[in-house]
């Protein structure tokens, strides 16, 4: 099959990972090299290699590897960047959600209202506390929790089962880099005396009406998984809040439930970000604004090139700054288009092919096909095109050309 362009295929995943995540493989199904990968982490590293190497070497020479000066400095720098009082570094984005929900006193017998169209960790973090996730449908233009559907659930008129227990929190997801519609969700929370925890894993640096996400609700949760806009060289996460009491409890929970060594006030966890990851993230934080701006430039080029092709392009919402963790289009023949693009050497991916209410692990929640038609339609139609700061204009144009030839 033909390959667009003549770019060497960057190598950044192992054979095992390629089997698990074929969209990241460096060859297509017939062995032809990939002209445009869905992500290229090596290119980012090469650009900032000296600064990263120096930062890692500094940690190695210090002999301080856990909860040291880099973690403390990163927490302060991120709190300033996000406009929050406290930022607590943790081992993963999932841990950030889990510990935050736990720290709010939510647990067995409680319900947390969220979106069915997100990565499974959003819901599993709820389940880890003993609480139960319940769902309301998404807005079709933004893929985020629809405030009207959330209001219906809270009024007792939404679809799906009605489990015993009281809703204690709303958990909106700022999906793909676009903030959820927070003002009406915050209004609902005040009406029903609910906590609001933002899942901002994909949206660091995005803004809602002049404020950065992560500082809009009671708490925000971020992921530093390597593919994120601000990614570590391993796992990492962050919880943010304006509430000093909540912050101190999360700090306690991340180190076995104690503040003083070998004195434990409650059952806690081991969720510490290590010094090497913190040092790497501090280097990368200095580039985040530039990288997010480049993502927006790439998105604008995609919009121009893909206009008029029958694709539904990502929403640009007034008052919101989209940071394009993903550039997600809708296309009815999604699987066919993705396959044909791959044969042309252009990778894409699908986030997410199965909504949470239809996941086998959540069969016992009692949801059925048809309960959330917008989430289910999105799962059939969404296609995420390559977008990362190192993507060249020429590669963007190759993606556009592959789309045109594959529709």
pLDDT of residue 398: 98
pLDDT of residue 3: 36
The residues facing 220 across adjacent strands are 198, 240
Which residue bears the tokens 């042309």? 344
pLDDT of residue 6: 35
pLDDT of residue 34: 80
- Class at the top of the CATH hierarchy for domain 15-47+287-406: alpha beta
Is residue 352 reached through a cis peptide bond, with omega within 30 degrees of 0 on the bond before it? yes
Which residue bears the tokens 């990614």? 231
Taking the C-alpha atoms of 141, 240, 118 and 229 in order, what is their torsion angle to the nearest 10 degrees?
80
pLDDT of residue 259: 85
The strand pair at 207-208 and 211-212 is best described as antiparallel
pLDDT of residue 29: 53
Q: What is the DSSP letter of 89?
A: E
pLDDT of residue 330: 98
Rounded Cα gap, residues 89 and 235, in angstroms: 11
CA 277 to chain centre: 18
Residue 195 phi/psi, 5° resolution?
A: -85, 155
Rounded Cα gap, residues 385 and 188, in angstroms: 34
**Where do the CATH 3.40.640.10 domains begin and end in the chain?**
50-285
Q: Regarding the domain delimited by 50-285, which CATH topology (the fold level of the hierarchy) does it fall under?
A: 3.40.640
**Where do the CATH 3.90.1150.10 domains begin and end in the chain?**
15-47+287-406
Buried b (16+ CB within 10 A) or exposed e, 12-31: bbeeeeeeeeebbbbebeee
pLDDT of residue 31: 54
pLDDT of residue 63: 97
pLDDT of residue 26: 52
Residues near 29 by beta carbon (within 8 Å), at least 6 away in sequence: 342, 343
Q: Which residues in the chain land under pLDDT 50?
A: 1-20
């Amino acid at each position: 099959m033909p390959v667009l362009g003549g770019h060497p295929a960057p190598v950044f995943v192992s054979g095992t990972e390629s089997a698990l995540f074929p969209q990241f493989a460096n060859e297509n199904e017939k062995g032809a090299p990939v002209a445009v990968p869905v992500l290229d982490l090596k290119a980012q590293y090469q650009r900032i290699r000296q600064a990263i190497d120096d930062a890692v070497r500094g940690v190695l020479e210090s002999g301080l590897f856990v909860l040291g000066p880099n973690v403390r400095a990163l927490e302060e720098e991120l709190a300033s960047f996000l406009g929050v009082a406290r930022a607590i570094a943790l081992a993963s984005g999932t841990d950030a959600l889990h510990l935050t929900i736990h720290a709010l006193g939510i647990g067995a017998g409680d319900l947390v209202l969220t979106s069915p169209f997100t990565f499974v960790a959003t819901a599993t973090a709820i389940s880890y506390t003993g609480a139960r996730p319940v769902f309301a449908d998404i807005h079709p233009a933004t893929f985020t929790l629809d405030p009207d559907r959330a209001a219906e659930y809270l009024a007792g008129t939404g679809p799906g089962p009605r489990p015993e227990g009281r809703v204690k929190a709303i958990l909106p997801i700022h999906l793909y880099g676009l903030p959820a519609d927070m003002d009406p969700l915050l209004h609902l929370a005040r009406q029903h005396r609910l906590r609001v925890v933002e899942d901002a894993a994909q949206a660091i640096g995005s803004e809602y009406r002049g404020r950065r996400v992560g500082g809009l609700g009671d708490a925000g949760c971020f992921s530093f998984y390597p593919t994120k806009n601000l990614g570590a060289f391993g796992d990492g996460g962050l919880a943010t809040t304006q509430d000093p009491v909540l912050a101190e409890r999360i700090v306690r929970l991340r180190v076995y439930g104690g503040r003083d060594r070998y004195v434990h006030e409650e059952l806690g966890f081991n969720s510490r970000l290590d010094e090497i990851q913190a040092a790497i993230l501090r280097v990368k934080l200095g580039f985040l604004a530039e990288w997010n701006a480049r993502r927006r430039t790439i998105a604008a080029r995609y919009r121009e090139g893909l206009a008029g092709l029958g694709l539904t392009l990502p929403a640009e919402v007034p008052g919101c700054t989209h940071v394009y963790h993903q550039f997600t289009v809708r296309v009815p023949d999604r699987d066919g288009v993705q396959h044909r693009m791959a044969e042309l050497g252009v990778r894409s991916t699908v986030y997410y092919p199965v909504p949470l209410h239809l996941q086998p692990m959540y069969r016992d929640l009692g949801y059925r096909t048809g309960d959330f038609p917008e989430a289910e339609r999105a799962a059939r139609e969404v296609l995420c095109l390559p977008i990362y700061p190192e993507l060249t204009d020429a590669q963007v144009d190759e993606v556009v050309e592959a789309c045109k030839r594959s529709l």
